[in-house]
Chains A and B, each alone.
Chain A
Amino acid sequence: MDNESLYRSLYQIRRFEEIVLEEFPRGRFSGTTHTYLGQEANAVGVLSHISAGDIVVSNHRCHGHFLAYGGDPRALFAELMGKETGVCGGRGGSQHLHWRNFYSNGVLGGTVPLATGMALAEKQKESGSTTIVFLGDGALGEGIVYESLNLASLWKVPILYVLENNRMAQTTPIDRHLAGGIAARFQAFGILACELETSDVLEILPVARVVFEEVRKVLSPRALVLHTSRFGPHSKGDDTRSAEEIATLRRERDPLEIHGKRLGPDAVKQIRSEIAEQLSEAFHQALNDPIPG
Chain B
Amino acid sequence: MPSVLELLNAALHRAFAADERVYLLGEDVLDPYGGAFKVTRGLSTAFPNRVLTAPVSEAGMVGLAAGMALRGLRPVVEIMFGDFVTLIADQLVNHVAKFRWMYNDQVRVPLVIRTPMGGRRGYGPTHSQTLEKLFLGIPGLRVLAPCTVGDPGKLLEHAILVDEDPVLFVENKLLYLAPLQEAHLLNDFTLSQSLDAGMVLSPDHPSGLPAPLSPVSYAPTYTLSLQGAPPPVLTIAAYGYMAELAREAALQLAYEHEGFVELVVPTQLAPVEISSVLASARRTRRLLVIEEGSQTMGWGAEVVARCAESLGPDLRRVRRLGAQEVPIPASIYLEAAVLPGIEEIVGAAKKMV
- Which B residues are CB-close (under 8 A) to A89? 104
Q: Bound complex: CA of A224 vs CA of B231, how far in Å?
A: 71
Q: Bound complex: CA of A100 vs CA of B65, how far in Å?
A: 20
Q: Bound complex: CA of A155 vs CA of B57, how far in Å?
A: 14
Stretch from A112-120, A190-198, A265-273 that touches the partner: A112-120
**In chain A, residues 168-207, which have Cβ atoms closer than 8 Å to a Cβ of chain B?**
none
A-side interface mostly: helix
Q: Does A263 contact B (CB under 8 A)?
A: no
CB-based contact A105/B95 at 8 Å: yes
CB-based contact B104/A92 at 8 Å: yes
Stretch from B66-74, B119-127, B174-182 that touches the partner: B66-74
**In chain A, residues 58-95, which have Cβ atoms closer than 8 Å to a Cβ of chain B?**
87-89, 91-92
- Which B residues are CB-close (under 8 A) to A55? 71
Q: By CB atoms of chain B within 10 A, which of A88, A98, A117 has the most? A: A117
CB-based contact A117/B90 at 8 Å: no
Digit string of B87-98 for contact with A (CB within 8 Å is 1, else 0)?
Answer: 000110011001
- Which B residues are CB-close (under 8 A) to A87? 104
Interface size on B, residues (CB 8 A): 36
Digit string of A94-113 for contact with B (CB within 8 Å is 1, else 0)?
Answer: 00111000010101001011
Closest to B106 in A: A98
Q: Bound complex: CA of A150 vs CA of B65, how far in Å?
A: 15
- Which A residues are CB-close (under 8 A) to B52? 155
Q: Bound complex: CA of A249 vs CA of B57, how far in Å?
A: 40
Closest to B23 in A: A124
- Which B residues are CB-close (under 8 A) to A103? 70, 103
Interface residues on A, range: 35 or more
CB-based contact A91/B104 at 8 Å: yes
Q: Bound complex: CA of A107 vs CA of B91, how far in Å?
A: 9
Minimum CB–CB distance from B100 to chain A (whole Å) comes to: 10
- Which A residues are CB-close (under 8 A) to B207? 293
Measured CB to CB, the residues of B under 8 A from A are: 23, 49, 52, 54-55, 57, 59-73, 90-91, 94-95, 98-99, 101-104, 106-107, 207-209
Top-10 shortest CB links A-B = A113-B63, A117-B67, A147-B60, A117-B64, A121-B71, A98-B103, A118-B67, A89-B104, A88-B104, A147-B57
A–B Cβ pairs within 8 angstroms, 13 of them: A91-B103, A96-B98, A96-B103, A98-B99, A98-B103, A113-B59, A113-B64, A117-B65, A125-B71, A144-B91, A151-B57, A151-B60, A155-B52
